[in-house]
């Protein structure tokens, strides 16, 4: 929010500046209309989200699973929720992340914002997985759209795959294998591995 070529005089003034920026961001966010029909640029909203994550702003500024569960009103789309919309939002986020160097990166090289989005998408996948009209290709494409570093563990992805396969017992063996292939078994926790072994 605040960009300057001057060097910060001290770490304490930097902290104050970050607090001021966080308060300003939270004020802007609180003044956005809550009406779902309000139209705003996706670029602006994602820029706001990225800044909120960088500044550790209030959780209210961050996207939640409910924000992604937009009912599908298109006659072309048979699914309960608008999966195409989430795919477009995710593609835009990944493009923006790739073009900018502003993502918060942990010591192990993982992007905090990318991991938060990974968790959100896995939650979305688990929520839509039981939709009988959700095609296997649509589920698969959304599941693989995130890079490997977006998930520390694939437990959330496993849950989504498990729900999908139980809700779609008619999918072919080839489709089942393809869908199971979205997970990295090396990234499953012991608890999830135990559950998978019992299935």
Contact assessment for residue 118 and residue 146, using Cβ atoms and an 8 Å cutoff: yes
| Distance, CA of 123 to CA of 88 (rounded, Å) | 17
**Closest to 165 (Cα-Cα) out of 121, 199, 189, 141:** 199
Q: Is 0.75 surpassed by the pTM of this model?
A: no
In this prediction, residues 134-158 reach a mean pLDDT of: 92
Question: Residue 8: pLDDT above 50?
Answer: no
Domain assignments of the chain as residue spans, ordered by start: 1-62, 64-198
Per-residue pLDDT reduced to its tens digit, 88-116: 888 888 888 777 655 555 444 567 888 88
| Confidence bin at 82 (pLDDT 50/70/90) | confident
Per-residue pLDDT reduced to its tens digit, 45-60: 667 666 766 666 655 5
Q: What is the dihedral of CA 95, 101, 106, 112, to 10 degrees?
A: -40
pLDDT for the residue numbered 71: 82
Contact assessment for residue 82 and residue 130, using Cβ atoms and an 8 Å cutoff: no
């Amino acid at each position: 929010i605040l960009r300057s070529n001057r060097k910060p005089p001290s770490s304490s003034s930097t902290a104050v500046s970050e607090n001021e920026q966080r308060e300003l961001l939270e004020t802007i966010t609180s003044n956005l209309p809550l009406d779902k029909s309000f139209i705003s640029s996706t670029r602006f909203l994602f820029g706001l989200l990225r800044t909120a994550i960088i500044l550790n702003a209030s959780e209210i500024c961050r996207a939640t699973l409910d924000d992604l569960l937009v009912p599908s009103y298109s006659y072309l789309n048979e699914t309960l929720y608008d999966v195409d919309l989430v795919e477009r939002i995710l593609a835009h986020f990944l493009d923006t992340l790739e073009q900018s160097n502003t993502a918060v990166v942990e010591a192990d090289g993982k992007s905090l914002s990318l991991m938060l989005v990974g968790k959100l998408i896995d939650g979305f996948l688990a929520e839509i997985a039981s939709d009988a009209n959700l095609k296997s290709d649509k589920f698969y494409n959304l599941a693989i759209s995130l890079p490997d570093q977006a998930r520390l563990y694939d437990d959330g992805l496993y849950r989504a795959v498990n729900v999908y396969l139980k809700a779609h017992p008619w999918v072919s063996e080839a489709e089942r294998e393809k869908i199971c292939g979205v997970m990295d078994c090396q990234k499953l926790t012991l608890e999830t591995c135990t559950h998978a072994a019992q299935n």
